[in-house]
């Protein structure tokens, strides 16, 4: 779905787009306007998290998320318009995540956007959430295509090359759990709380990462795919064998798991960098390796990725964390790019639990699936 370049006529008036996001556990609305330098001005950028609502369950509960999104969306739209000092009349397009994600949640933003589009007579832009993540590095700074992106969050773990707007090539993704889920589930087994990633990182500080041997995921398998389910199971088995685990036992297991996840991410990222080098030999060092998603906050993960990037002639760039984690600014940006290219959607645009970013995989997948393998697999 390589989108055409924007038409010059459309570029003359800078377009303003509102974006809505509700595919996992963040309700978010943002408003962006194209500026004279070709970048974007973020006029409003609101996020309402649900961590407390899910904390008692140690993970995101889809029904709770869907209800909370449905309750939050209208108010967030009103608040974003007020913050931007705009009326709906002054907005040129209504963008919303249409998938992939938890289907009840996806519907909250998409249905709200459809209502706004119909009521105000504005074009609807149904955005792939993953395209939002793929374009997010361009929210704050000019990042030239092509670039390599590692997306590591609670819902996604994938490596892709962004070649242009609408042109993404997925090099690999997780076959089971996302990296963030591996952190969260291990932390849950160890009783460390939710969200598990930060809790596990804290616990790991005083730990010995050499104490427990963990399996290397997908050992010997070529390519850029990930798998974290085996690591999680191995960690659980170690945990269950520990009788009355001490704080030191917990710290050692946390450190061992954290290092295993970091190594797995760095090893596949290294392979993806090699693919990039083979495909774009003319691009000089340092080539950008963009790392987005909540797991990118982990210091051990960052160090491992930074090391691999340095060895391969890449520079690891992490966008500001507010745009790494789920947000609506990235959805509005993807919508703006679509609008500038005239890629408008009809009001029948479906909500999709699964929606691969690259066309070749997309053709193989049904429009609406169960989304069983993690919220945004």
Which residues of this protein are in contact with Zn ion, per CB under 5 A? 326
**184 counts as binding ligand KG4 under rule CB under 6 A:** yes
Among 22, 27, 153, 174, binds ligand KG4 (CB under 6 A): 153
Mask 86-115, x = binds ligand KG4 (CB under 6 A)? ------------------------------
Q: Find the angle CA(342)-CA(344)-CA(347) to the nearest 5 degrees.
A: 165
154 binding partner (options ligand KG4, Zn ion, none; Cβ < 5 to 8 Å by kind)? ligand KG4
195 binding partner (options Zn ion, ligand KG4, none; Cβ < 5 to 8 Å by kind)? ligand KG4
Say how many C-beta atoms besides its own lie within 10 A of residue 277's C-beta.
16
- Residue 92 near residue 339, CB atoms below 8 Å: yes
Q: At what angle do helices 179-189 and 196-204 cross, to 10 degrees?
A: 70
> CB neighbours of 177 closer than 8 A, spacing ≥ 6?
185, 227, 228, 229, 232, 374
Give min distance, CB of 24 to Zn ion, in A.
Answer: 6
Give min distance, CB of 183 to ligand KG4, in A.
Answer: 4
132 binding partner (options ligand KG4, Zn ion, none; Cβ < 5 to 8 Å by kind)? none
Give min distance, CB of 260 to Zn ion, in A.
Answer: 23
Q: How far apart are CA 326 and CA 294, in angstroms?
A: 9
Give min distance, CB of 326 to Zn ion, in A.
Answer: 4
183 binding partner (options Zn ion, ligand KG4, none; Cβ < 5 to 8 Å by kind)? ligand KG4
DSSP reduced 3-state for 285: coil
Which of these segments, 13-21, 152-160, 209-217, 281-289, binds ligand KG4 (CB under 6 A)? 152-160
- On the CB side of 311, how many CA atoms lie within 13 Å of its CA? 13
Give min distance, CB of 253 to ligand KG4, in A.
Answer: 15
Which of these segments, 163-171, 192-200, 239-247, 327-335, binds ligand KG4 (CB under 6 A)? 192-200
Q: How far apart are CA 74 and CA 285, in angstroms?
A: 46
Sign of CA dihedral 241, 243, 247, 248: negative
Sign of CA dihedral 294, 300, 303, 306: negative
Number of residues engaging ligand KG4 in binding (CB under 6 A) = 19
Q: How far apart are CA 109 and CA 26, in angstroms?
A: 11
Give the β-pairing of 16-21 and 93-99: parallel
- 287-346 binders of ligand KG4 (CB under 6 A): 293-295, 297-298, 325-326
Give min distance, CB of 185 to ligand KG4, in A.
Answer: 9
| Residue whose C-beta lies closest to ligand KG4 | 197
- Residue 285 near residue 259, CB atoms below 8 Å: no
- Residue 362 near residue 165, CB atoms below 8 Å: no
Cα distances (angstroms) measured from residue 86 to each of 19, 42, 44, 113: 14, 13, 10, 17
Give min distance, CB of 292 to Zn ion, in A.
Answer: 8
137 binding partner (options ligand KG4, Zn ion, none; Cβ < 5 to 8 Å by kind)? none
Cα end-to-end distance, the chain, whole Å: 20
Task: Name the residue nearer to Zn ion (CB basis): 105 or 123.
Answer: 105
What 8-state DSSP symbol labels residue 37?
T
DSSP reduced 3-state for 348: coil
**180 counts as binding ligand KG4 under rule CB under 6 A:** yes
Task: Name the residue nearer to ligand KG4 (CB basis): 19 or 155.
Answer: 155
**146 counts as binding ligand KG4 under rule CB under 6 A:** no
Task: Name the residue nearer to ligand KG4 (CB basis): 92 or 326.
Answer: 326
- 247-286 binders of ligand KG4 (CB under 6 A): none
Give min distance, CB of 296 to ligand KG4, in A.
Answer: 8
Q: Which of 264, 287, 266 is nearest to 276 (CA)?
A: 287
Residues at the site binding ligand KG4, with contacts judged by CB under 6 A: 24, 153-155, 180, 183-184, 195-198, 201, 293-295, 297-298, 325-326
């Amino acid at each position: 779905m390589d989108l055409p370049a924007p038409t010059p006529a459309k570029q003359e008036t800078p377009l303003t787009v509102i974006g809505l996001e509700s595919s996992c556990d963040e309700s978010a609305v943002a408003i962006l306007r194209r500026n004279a330098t070709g970048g974007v001005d973020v006029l409003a950028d609101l996020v309402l998290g649900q961590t407390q609502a899910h904390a008692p369950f140690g993970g995101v509960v889809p029904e709770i998320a869907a209800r909370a999104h449905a309750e939050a969306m209208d108010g967030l739209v009103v608040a974003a318009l007020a913050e931007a000092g705009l009326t709906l009349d002054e907005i040129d397009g209504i963008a919303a995540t249409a998938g992939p994600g938890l289907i009840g949640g996806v519907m909250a933003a998409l249905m709200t956007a459809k209502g706004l589009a119909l009521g105000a007579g504005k074009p609807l832009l149904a955005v792939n959430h993953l395209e939002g993540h793929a374009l997010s590095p361009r929210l704050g700074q000019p990042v030239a295509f092509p670039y390599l992106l590692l997306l590591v969050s609670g819902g996604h773990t994938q490596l892709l090359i962004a070649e242009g707007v609408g042109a993404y090539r997925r090099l690999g993704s997780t076959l089971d759990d996302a990296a963030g889920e591996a952190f969260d589930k291990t932390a849950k087994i160890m009783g460390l709380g939710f969200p598990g990633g930060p809790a596990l990182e804290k616990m790991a500080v005083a730990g010995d990462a050499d104490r427990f041997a963990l399996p290397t995921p997908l050992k010997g398998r070529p390519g850029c795919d990930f798998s974290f389910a085996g690591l999680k199971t191995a960690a659980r088995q170690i945990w269950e064998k520990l009788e009355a685990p001490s704080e030191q036992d917990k710290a050692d297991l946390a450190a061992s798991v954290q290092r295993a996840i970091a190594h797995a991410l760095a090893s596949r990222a290294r392979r993806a960098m090699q693919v990039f080098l083979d495909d774009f030999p003319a691009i000089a060092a340092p080539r950008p390796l963009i790392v987005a998603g909540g797991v990118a906050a982990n210091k051990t993960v960052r160090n491992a990725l930074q090391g691999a990037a340095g060895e391969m002639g890449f520079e690891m760039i992490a966008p500001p964390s507010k745009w790494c984690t789920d947000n609506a600014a990235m959805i509005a940006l993807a919508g703006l790019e679509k609008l500038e290219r005239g890629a408008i959607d009809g009001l029948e645009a479906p909500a999709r639990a699964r929606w691969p970013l690259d066309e070749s995989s997309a053709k193989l997948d049904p429009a609406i699936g169960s989304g069983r393998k993690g919220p945004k697999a």
